[in-house]
A and B are shown apart, each in its own frame.
Chain A
Amino acid sequence: MPEKEPSICEEKIYNQLFKKHYEPVTKYIYYKCGSLQQAEDIVQNVFIKLWKLCATVTFSKAKAYIYKACNNLFLNDVAHQKVVLKHQQDIAKSTDYESPDFLIEVDEFREKLKAAINRLSVKEREVFLLSRIEKKTYREIAKLTGLTVKAIERRMSKALLELRDMLGKEIKL
């Protein structure tokens, strides 16, 4: 019998879980639905539910529960608005050799890249952004989504192919 798990019903433990998982799971839902407001609402509702179920959800299963519940809530949100992801552009690492003209082109390209990502299907976008922005491995993504690593790799490859289809013309070589 392993050591007794900490109880989620304890406020300290609950807050600890919240601080650990709130941001990544919100991002995960955001990459799916494209609305930060909606994503935050979903995740907050799940955390409220988690508190009420604190006696039945064990500490070790909490993370799985949170992701699963958020995903279900997202799927239930039938009327979710059209995906409009607003990626915040990191301030581009300025490279000395870039001419002002080139910077404008790069900005334009980045806008088009964002638009293209928004046009990906939910399944592809979720994998692509978790991998590229959150730097998660395929194994981690597979665990989050409950799919096989192979399936994640297929979605990742498909996402890249589609992005190239949409953006290939924009890339001058």
Chain B
Amino acid sequence: MDKNYNTDETFLARWISGELSEAERVAFEKTEAYKQFDIINKESQLLAGPDIDTEAALKLVTLKLQEQQKKPKIIRLWYAVAASIVILISLGTFLNSSKTHITGIGEKTHITLSDGSKVHLNANSSVSYKRFFWLGNKEVNLRGEAYFSVEKGDGFTVNTSKGHISVLGTQFNIKDRNELEVKCYEGKVSFIKSANASKTYILTSGMQVNVNDEHIYEGHFNHETPNWKDGISKFVNQPLSKVLEELTYIYPITFKTNSINTDRLFSGSFTHNNLNTALQTTLVPMGITYKKSPTSNVIILSE
């Protein structure tokens, strides 16, 4: 039996490529199916493949290659840079971090710095300084009141909100409340309002400087240690407002002054260990009566 397109699985392929034997071809061309295959074959050969722009594709591939070659390096470099920055910042922040001591109302504390200098911190105050490398640049930030006993050495500076106090082996008190008061008990202290201020105040033993927002006053005193260190606050011709303010630092109280004139001057002292005694010694001589609210810490004042 003759082979044909139904029985021979390579028959049609061989017909297309002209590999059929003469006998096979003649027999095949006589069949009905032949004409259909012939048309399919001829029509298929009229089809065209897609248009392909090789030049454009080469440009695209070259571009992609250039991008890929650059990118990884840049990305890695940026990651490295970013990581380094984060490490540097966190390390810097850590090394630059400050140690802070805070006292609440009525609290007192003392701190010994790494150069042996002592800081006695009065109530409602804080002192902060760099945790590391402090000896290289001895700076202390003060808010409130503190008594400093500084060991001999170079450049010890206290920064306050109203100026900078530089010292060289000495003992002094700084009170930065409504106004700033610097008292030198021993040695020499200099005060400068800001880094670019023209005038530097030099204080020696027994000298003080008082700084408010507008003025700077120089003065003298003759006690040997600040009274607060002995547990009392002493005032000489100070307005009542200052006395009341000081009381609120030592005792957890607030005042309701109503119509009382707080500009009146007061001379005297109050103790830090008994609120009633303190109130009596300050208010009674001024002719002020006071009433302690039973439920809160408000002291109501009246004439």
Contact = CB atoms under 8 A, between A and B. Distances in A.
Interface stretch (B6-14, B91-99, B191-199, B203-211): B6-14
Contacts of B64: 44, 48
A88 B211 CA distance: 94
B58 A153 contact: no
A134 to B, nearest CB: 7
The prevalent SS among residues of B at the interface is: helix
A49 to B, nearest CB: 10
A30 B10 contact: no
Contacts of A138: 13, 17
A126 to B, nearest CB: 12
Interface stretch (B36-44, B119-127, B182-190, B223-231): B36-44
A4 interface: no
Contacts of B14: 153
B54 A114 contact: no
A143 interface: no
Given A44-B60, A150-B10, A171-B39, A30 B50 contact: yes
Nearest to A150: B10
A27 B37 contact: no
A143 to B, nearest CB: 15
A57 interface: no
A22 B12 contact: no
Contacts of B8: 157
Which of B8, B35, B57 has the largest count of A CB atoms less than 10 A from its CB? B57
A168 interface: yes
A163 interface: yes
Interface in B1-30: 5, 8-14, 16-17
B259 interface: no
Contacts of B48: 87-90, 133
Contact of B49 (A88, A117, A167): A88
Interface in A81-126: 86-90, 92-93, 109-110, 113-114, 117
